Amino acid sequence: MEEPVVTSVTYDKNQAKLSIVNVPDRPGVAAKVFTALAKQNINVDMIIQSSATEKRNDISFTVTKTELKKALTILKKIGKELNAGGVIYDDKIAKVSIIGVGMKSHPGVASKMFTVLAKKNVNIEMISTSEIKISCVIKENYVKKAVRTLHKSFGLGQG
């Protein structure tokens, strides 16, 4: 009997997203940002850096809501040092993930997850993947709908 591709759906509403926008695209910028956060014992979860446009880009990441204020202070300071375009944040987000060892040998799992969320009008703000997990940042008020729909779509019951 074959093991299911996706074995669970999880969520975390204790998340906040921060972005430092319009930073110079040069070596060391990401190191400066994340070293400063690490020195203050701030654990960073998902990280996304946009592709450079006119030698500048955006870096977004998530932290727990309890770390938001401290991370925001650090990011604003670094933003000034780097002559960034600004710092923005959103504490009304959540992370929804599908997990399963079978995903690494089954193409189309990410496509199915994204399609399921799109059909329910759930916008994906960030995506992170590994061999056994796909995580999406969405607006917090869509978590119940997203989890319920993903459970059903991947044959895991109602969730």
Which CATH number does the domain 14-91 belong to among 2.30.30.760, 3.30.160.100, 3.30.1330.40, 3.30.70.260?
Answer: 3.30.70.260
Per-residue pLDDT reduced to its tens digit, 4-21: 799 999 999 999 999 999
Strand partners, 88: 19
Residue 11 makes CB contacts below 8 A (sequence gap 6+) with: 94, 95, 96, 97, 143, 146, 147
- Domain residue limits, the chain: 8-13+93-153, 14-91
Per-residue pLDDT reduced to its tens digit, 20-41: 999 999 999 999 999 999 999 9
Angle at 155 between CA 152 and CA 159, to 5 degrees: 45
Other C-beta atoms closer than 10 Å to the C-beta of 95 total: 22
- Asked if residues 75 and 95 have their Cβ atoms less than 8 Å apart, the reply is no
Task: Report the Cα–Cα distance between both ends of the chain, in Å, rounded.
Answer: 23
Which H, E and C letters describe 100-126, residue by residue?
A: CHHHHHCCCHHHHHHHHHHHCCCCCCE
Per-residue pLDDT reduced to its tens digit, 115-155: 999 999 999 999 999 999 999 999 999 999 999 999 999 99
Tokens found for residue 80:
């000034």
Fold of 8-13+93-153: VC0802-like (3.30.2130)
Give pLDDT, residue 104.
85
